[in-house]
Amino acid sequence: MHQQMDMAAPPEPTSRAVTAAETTDERWTPNTVLKTLTEQPITGSTSPVPFFHLLERLKTNKREGWRRFRIENGESIADHMYRMSIITLFCPPALAARLDLSRCTRMALVHDMAESLVGDITPVDGVPKPEKSRREAETMDYLCGPLLGRVGGGLAGADMRALWQEYEDSKTPESHFVHDVDKLELLLQMVEYERAHQGRVDLGEFSYVATRIVLPELKAWAAEILAERERFWAAANRTPSGLEDISVQHKAQSKEYYEGSGAAVASDEKTMAVASGEK
């Protein structure tokens, strides 16, 4: 017998990543957030401990996309990066042969680190992508400079800064792989939340990211996850929302956000067009 299912409430128009003060703040800097902390991180230290403490925020800050759907005790930013890192370890051999895989794992661990101060700004929050990128770059400069610049000669900090930039620029094969893993991790979580909420939450809006996955190996995993989703909703005698229900505006917003700002986006599009037989 099927569980009685209520109609899902519509998602909230924006997440809570950005407070009204931050949206109107003339010029956001890491200090906009730092000055609100009860404990100010010690800068210029030769110890990494102040940085380790700041990282706690990745464990306590929730991924905002889910909160719009009233999933309150959802995953943290650290949760998301942890599973991504593990997924990189399972890179199929033919693809792994073309990649520096340990670089990919480290990139997965670092790519959303700036959200420790910036928060998880999502496509619906009204912060333009260039402004989001500026805030994140300034946060990484703060973490890797004032906080880590004197730790171990600043080498580990400089390495993290370079990894973050490589992901952001999205021009190398390693960064393309990690961008695909980022989307795959989101699809896994989407299906898991729908199951956990026994069909009371329809997260079909997020299925759009599957269309933006580029590498064939990752596309295959995404197709497997979406097939699981179809089976789940079919068993519940319900038709969930899917690609056709997502507005053109939301697709455009998401496209800008889920991809890096590098030139690779254009070449990825060409690859996809070829793959799907488009001209």
Range in contact with Zn ion (rule: CB under 5 A) among 99-107, 137-145, 182-190, 193-201 = 182-190
Alpha helices in the chain (DSSP H): 20-24, 30-34, 49-60, 64-67, 77-89, 93-96, 101-110, 115-118, 129-142, 155-169, 173-196, 216-235, 248-258, 264-275
Instruction: Note whether 64 binds Zn ion by CB under 5 A.
Output: no
Number of neighbouring beta carbons within 10 Å of residue 242: 17
Number of neighbouring beta carbons within 10 Å of residue 81: 21
Range in contact with Zn ion (rule: CB under 5 A) among 64-72, 137-145, 176-184, 197-205 = 176-184
Interatomic CA distance for residues 256 and 219, integer angstroms: 20
Range in contact with Zn ion (rule: CB under 5 A) among 62-70, 94-102, 112-120, 266-274 = 112-120
- Nearer to Zn ion among residue 75 and residue 112 (C-beta): 112
* DSSP-assigned states of every residue in 68-116: TTT-TT--BHHHHHHHHHHHHHT--HHHHTTS-HHHHHHHHHHTTTTHH
- Nearer to Zn ion among residue 185 and residue 268 (C-beta): 185
Range in contact with Zn ion (rule: CB under 5 A) among 4-12, 61-69, 90-98, 174-182 = 174-182
- Nearer to Zn ion among residue 50 and residue 74 (C-beta): 74
- Closest separation in Å from C-beta 158 to Zn ion: 22
Query: What's at 74, amino acid-wise?
Result: G
- Closest separation in Å from C-beta 61 to Zn ion: 12
Instruction: Note whether 112 binds Zn ion by CB under 5 A.
Output: yes
- Closest separation in Å from C-beta 206 to Zn ion: 13
Range in contact with Zn ion (rule: CB under 5 A) among 104-112, 224-232, 243-251, 261-269 = 104-112
- Nearer to Zn ion among residue 83 and residue 150 (C-beta): 83
Angle, nearest 10°, between helix axes 173-196 and 155-169?
Answer: 80
- Nearer to Zn ion among residue 45 and residue 76 (C-beta): 76
Instruction: Note whether 205 binds Zn ion by CB under 5 A.
Output: no
> Quick one: CA dihedral 35, 37, 40, 46, positive or negative?
negative
Instruction: Note whether 182 binds Zn ion by CB under 5 A.
Output: yes
Interatomic CA distance for residues 68 and 52, integer angstroms: 29
- Closest separation in Å from C-beta 204 to Zn ion: 20
Structure letter (DSSP) for residue 199: T
- Closest separation in Å from C-beta 86 to Zn ion: 14
Instruction: Note whether 136 binds Zn ion by CB under 5 A.
Output: no
First CA to last CA across the chain, in angstroms? 48
Range in contact with Zn ion (rule: CB under 5 A) among 18-26, 109-117, 139-147, 239-247 = 109-117
- Nearer to Zn ion among residue 64 and residue 112 (C-beta): 112
Cα angle 189, 190, 196; round to 5: 80
- Nearer to Zn ion among residue 112 and residue 125 (C-beta): 112
Interatomic CA distance for residues 114 and 99, integer angstroms: 25
- Nearer to Zn ion among residue 180 and residue 202 (C-beta): 180
What is the contact surface with Zn ion in residues (CB under 5 A)?
Answer: 112, 182
